[in-house]
Amino acid sequence: MESEGDSGACGNWSTRGSNPQAGGVATTDTWKDLRPCINLKKLAFNNNDKIGLKTAQKDLDIAIKKARNKHRLDIENSFNAKNTKHLWDTMKKVTNMNSVKTQPTTMNSADKANELNKFFLRFDSHNAGHMADIDILNPGECSPCTELLNCDLVINTFRKVPNKKSAGPDGLTSFLYRNCSEELSEAWAPVFQKSIQSCEVPALWKNSVIIPIPKISSPQSGNDFRPIALTCIAMKCFEKIMIECLKEEVSPFLDNLQFAYKHGSSTADAVISASHLILKHLEAPNSYARVLFADFSSAFDTVQPAILVKKMLEMNVNPDMVKWFFSLLTDRTQQVKLNGTFSKRLSCNTGIPQGAVSSPLLFTLYTNSCQSSHTQNKIIKFSDDTIIISLLSVADNPSIYFDEVKHFNKWCEDHSLLLNTTKTKEIIFDPKGVTSHRPLAIGSSQIEAVNSIKYLGVWIDNQMKWTVHVDYLCGKLAQRLYFLRRLRLFGVSSKILITFYNAVLESLARYAMTARFGALSVKDKNKLCKQLNVALKICGCRDHRTLQVTYEETT
């Protein structure tokens, strides 16, 4: 599992104490079995009944042992059966995992759902463009998807639907598509063919249910929710087929510095590339770098379909396919589901629904033209996480950087992407203090220059020393050691403890290690390795390879 943010591999972990009389095993499920024994023990103690106290303690020890064995067997059986969902659910009970992201019970009214739906559509424009801009072009040849699409392709796509994929507005589950793929393909394949030939997406397939996912523990406003769209599974499968065709046509035109949604690329690649550019440049005398960490407001929700269509045509995408995607993004409808309550359905012509299969690639195409205008500047992107790196020296004109930022801001305005200047930050990498630096402003807003910032899960400081990130890692590792100790308390096998260690602790330390581990000081390396050695000792593992060995193997 990859550890890129605060929550790591398995969610938000916070310690929650157990009753010491319950031997540290009191969970929601076992407490009702242990409570009678604890009450008998208290009663015997209050009555000064030594024999009764001894008997009650013995019964409590037996009950605790049974509780531990029950959870241990649940974990081991789930592990052996490769039932990951039940495995993690049991681990949550054993470690008293406390899920932080919960919706307040007061936010369950239809009024609140309607309010959120209007908020999510606040950027919507009914003037989304017209198909006339596409129709005036020469008709495209037969779409490549028309020739490829057949019953066998539909069957294979249905069979690959994940077991836990949420059903869309039509209520048809993933179980149905996986187990009745051949029967359903006979009905759906002709419909898919007709949709491609007519360049139209049926209105029912463009309906979506928006699930507001809280970004923080106590959401108070619409900005505290992330709108995730649920569409019907048939539409997801159809989009998957269309996206594979689209990838083949646009792959030669994609920006090499966009690391999101690419096969074999991850956030670690973006961090490594940015770090390499900066560190290599700072080796030259009288050099410094300025980096702008841009933050967009609801980037996916502000995408303009008409602009996206023009960009696809510039990449020589088949016009019929372009029309199909334009139909997909316009005249959509959505309603918010909040605590079982549905809002009114509203129409939408702007934005790309988050959670849709095609959204990641379409957003990549939309921002593909966001590239640097000067050779000394680089724009590195991971989805909407965008940074502008300006590699300068004392002899260079600072306007190289300021003009690039101005050009970037103009590009954002032309593409209806809103920069959040409050969250947009700047770091100046000038460890030798070679020159003074003029403050940066975007429009009328002053951009704050900070000493460190968290970028794609890694803390970067203006000295490129990584000490801030190591302190952050050690804090997270110390927090997760508690849960490893809890699992050992329940007598979980060493094999499962090692799996937990690899997934939850070591993955956090290994993330983007190619960019930072070689540059760590001896003190920081020792501090990090000390935490991992404690974890390995808990697991009872003495021959596990060290971070240093792992780093040497990956470089």
| pLDDT mean over 359-375 | 93
Number of Cβ within 10 Å of residue 28's Cβ equals 9
Per-residue pLDDT tens digits for 208-248: 999 999 988 788 888 889 999 999 999 999 999 999 889 98
Give the pLDDT band of residue 127 (cuts 50, 70, 90). Answer: low
Q: For residues 298 and 307, is the Cβ–Cβ distance under 8 A?
A: no
| pLDDT mean over 72-85 | 81
120 compared with 137, residue with greater pLDDT: 120
> Does pLDDT of 348 surpass 50?
yes
| pLDDT mean over 7-14 | 41
> Does pLDDT of 545 surpass 50?
yes
**Among 234, 291, 550, which residue's Cα sits nearest to residue 424?**
291
Which pair of structure tokens corresponds to residue 222? 């619409």
Per-residue pLDDT tens digits for 403-423: 999 999 999 999 999 999 999
**Among 485, 483, 427, which residue's Cα sits nearest to residue 458?**
427
**Among 38, 39, 11, which residue's Cα sits nearest to residue 96?**
11
Number of Cβ within 10 Å of residue 410's Cβ equals 10
Q: For residues 333 and 207, is the Cβ–Cβ distance under 8 A?
A: yes
**Among 520, 53, 125, which residue's Cα sits nearest to residue 332?**
125
Give the pLDDT band of residue 464 (cuts 50, 70, 90). Answer: confident
Q: How far is CA 379 from the centre of its chain?
A: 21
DSSP assignment of 283-311 equals: TSTTEEEEEEEE-EESTGGG--HHHHHHH
**Who's near 435: CB < 8 A, 6+ residues apart?**
288, 394
Handedness of CA 470, 476, 481, 487 (dihedral sign): negative
| Three-state secondary-structure class, residue 446 | strand
Report the Cα–Cα distance between both ends of the chain, in Å, rounded. Answer: 20
Give the pLDDT band of residue 141 (cuts 50, 70, 90). Answer: low
Handedness of CA 533, 535, 541, 545 (dihedral sign): negative
pLDDT of residue 380: 96
| Three-state secondary-structure class, residue 425 | strand
> Does pLDDT of 147 surpass 80?
no
Per-residue pLDDT tens digits for 168-188: 888 888 899 999 999 998 888
1-15, 352-366, 508-522: least confident range: 1-15
Give the pLDDT band of residue 28 (cuts 50, 70, 90). Answer: low
